[in-house]
Amino acid sequence: MAGATVWVPSANYSERTRVRLFMERHGIVDLQELVRRSRADVEWFWQAVVEDLPIEFYTPYEAVLDVSRGPSHARWFVGGTINVAHNCLDRHARSSRRDRPALIWEGEDGATRTLSYGDLLSETNGFAGALKRLGVGRGDRVGIFLPMAPEAVVALLACAKIGAIATPIFSGFGAPAVAARLNDCAAKVLITADGTFRRGHVVPLKDVADEAVALSPCVRHVIVWRRAGCDVRWTSPRDVWWHEVVAGEPADCATEPMESEDPFLLAYTSGTTGKPKGAVHVHGGLLVKIAQEAAHQVDMGPDDTLFWVTDLGWIMGPWEVVGGLAHGGTVVLYEGAPDYPSPDRLWYLVERHRPTILGVSPTLIRALMRYGVEPVSRHDLTSLRVLGSTGEPWNPGPWQWYFDHVGQGRCPIINFSGGTEVGACFLSPLPIQPLKPCSLGGPALGMAVDVYDATGKPLRGGVGELVCTKPWPGMTRGLWNDEERYQQTYWSRWPGVWVHGDWASIDADGEWFLYGRSDDTLNVAGKRIGPAEIESAAVGHPAVAEAAAVGVPHEVKGESIWCFIVLRPGFEPGEPLAKAVRSVISDNLGKSFAPEQIRFVRDLPRTRSAKIVRRAIRAKLLGEDPGDLTGLENAQALDEITSVP
């Protein structure tokens, strides 16, 4: 994947960034020294971050880091008291920024709303008071099953304000997936809407919530935001309307000082492989880590507007909210499909709301590429100065398309890699460094990450396991009610080392690349390869828009590769094209990795966050149980998997 450098920041661009100003304050002259020092002395770095941003504590902490219970149970900012809501809302609403926009929202139906910091504080205080009146207090879990709208942010911050633990749930899940999360954390309250809009249809969220709560005896109250105006079933006194429950609540509600290690968020994995994991994130560490990333990696400041295409139920939803509001900036929220009612919807949103920072998944760009350049070029995207991405590895073609046509060759692509349990990212470039296509740059600041071979030794010039050798502030404090699974999943392979489960490599220039999950690895006649490498090679053919590679049991090879292809407009499937795609893959990777089967499909099964679900494809092929599919955007795409020749 290593290629030529395509982005070199100008001196003027580099000098104005927040990370460059941080370096100047600490007498650091080059990026290599900053990365080295931040990894070697993590306590110095994170202390400097708290002072630099600044992050406000009610009570100063006594120690930056305590590892007396081992690295898997590290504690940060020990003895300090803090609250996410104070840092993201209260202090801005009580300053000169009170009338500045905090949130800009647009619904798929065209509805829009802007909330200033003062507005957001008033709504959050009222809702926090309502939660308290319903019996919610410190440590209680509150499910948030809402579309990406201001109410979702109000609910998140209101929970933080009173010391409850917010549990965001992806708004596209079905009832069993919602119930699994509610029951796992014993949520006392579920917050939802009557409905939401998706591709021109009303999605009946309240109906899904009712089914989920019927399976979740822990839930005492369901708070319903009237969004779509659709008819809903009502169970009194359990169900309460949002607008009624906040009526008469005072516009002021005290923010609770929380211990730095008190839980703020339960972020659940998607549950695509077994029982969902509830990653526990705390007020101090998660806030500091996300605020640092937003400032240094995407250069978020008080005059910036951040728009990440995501859902509150994925970790980038809380990341967008906390990262944008911690700096007193503006956050754009969009409820709906990014290519509806026309392929240019996302680019229209950028032109209309003028974000300076845009974040997407690689799969979303691959999907939008199918419509060509014209939907992008018809809109003014000049407000953008930083592009972000996360979720999965890039292919060179889509990365270059994003760089050339969305960023117009003048915006760096800050490609994150982390995850729900990480709380933020392990790897990321900075806007002040040269970039190659698809690169992750290197270790995120303050993160002691490495690539290990099978024996647990650092590896260069090959593909190995991505690991972290020191704790970090945003690290999950465990999996909710499942200590054994936490230790087994992340800490059991090598003592004191977090094994993330991703394949990674470091090239001769020191740039890092990812190749997908190590548990997705294909083993063909003893040769191991990640599906992303197969897919990247396939997308190199001009006819191929998207690809998904899976391994199928083979009597001789162990596994053979089957590749499912979505074509660009104007190309017709057939054996000649299949041979051509197979040839491109074998030319790039060797004949050993030529797919046994090339199958053309109209679409690939994906989540609403645009991740292709290879596990579901493989299960469909083999007639196995695919697990939880409630998060799929287009489950009907699976029907083609076994029907196409």
Burial 149-171 (b: 16+ CB within 10 A, else e): bbbbbbbbbbbbbbbbbbbbbbb
- Whether the CB-CB separation of 187 and 216 falls below 8 Å is answered with yes
Q: Please give the structure tokens belonging to residue 171.
A: 């708004």
Distance in angstroms (rounded) separating the CA atoms of residues 430 and 433: 6
Stretch 122-142: mean pLDDT: 98
pLDDT category of residue 271 using cuts at 50, 70 and 90 = very low
Computed over every residue of the chain, the mean pLDDT equals 92
Query: Of the ranges 47-56, 90-99, 549-558, 581-590, which one carries the lowest mean pLDDT score?
Result: 549-558
What pTM did the predictor assign? Answer: 0.86
Nearest residue to 632 via CA among 604, 609, 606:
606
Q: What are the tens digits of pLDDT across the range 452-508?
A: 998 999 999 888 899 999 999 999 999 999 999 999 999 999 999 999 988 888 888
- Assigned domain for 448 exists: no
- Assigned domain for 277 exists: no
| Coil, helix or strand at residue 6 | coil
With 0-12 / 13-18 / 19 or more C-beta atoms within 10 angstroms meaning exposed / middle / buried, residue 519 is exposed
Q: What are the tens digits of pLDDT across the range 368-395?
A: 998 999 999 999 999 999 999 998 778 8
273 pLDDT exceeds 60?
Answer: no
pLDDT category of residue 282 using cuts at 50, 70 and 90 = very high
Distance in angstroms (rounded) separating the CA atoms of residues 136 and 299: 36
- Assigned domain for 408 exists: no
Distance in angstroms (rounded) separating the CA atoms of residues 258 and 281: 13
- Assigned domain for 145 exists: no
Q: Please give the structure tokens belonging to residue 427.
A: 């790897």
Percent of the chain with pLDDT over 70: 95
- Assigned domain for 33 exists: no
With 0-12 / 13-18 / 19 or more C-beta atoms within 10 angstroms meaning exposed / middle / buried, residue 266 is buried
| Domain range for 567 | 521-641
Going by their DSSP bridges, the two strands 239-241 and 221-225 should be labelled as parallel
Q: Where do runs of H (alpha helix) occur along 430-521? A: 483-490
Look-up: residue for tokens 């105006």? 229
Stretch 258-282: mean pLDDT: 85
| 237, 300, 433, 462 from 209: Cα distances, Å | 16, 36, 46, 47
Give how many domains the chain has, as a whole number.
Answer: 1
- Assigned domain for 530 exists: yes
- Assigned domain for 609 exists: yes
CATH number for the domain harbouring residue 625 = 3.30.300.30
Look-up: residue for tokens 């010039």? 461
- Assigned domain for 112 exists: no
Q: What are the tens digits of pLDDT across the range 186-227?
A: 999 999 999 999 999 999 999 999 999 999 999 999 999 999
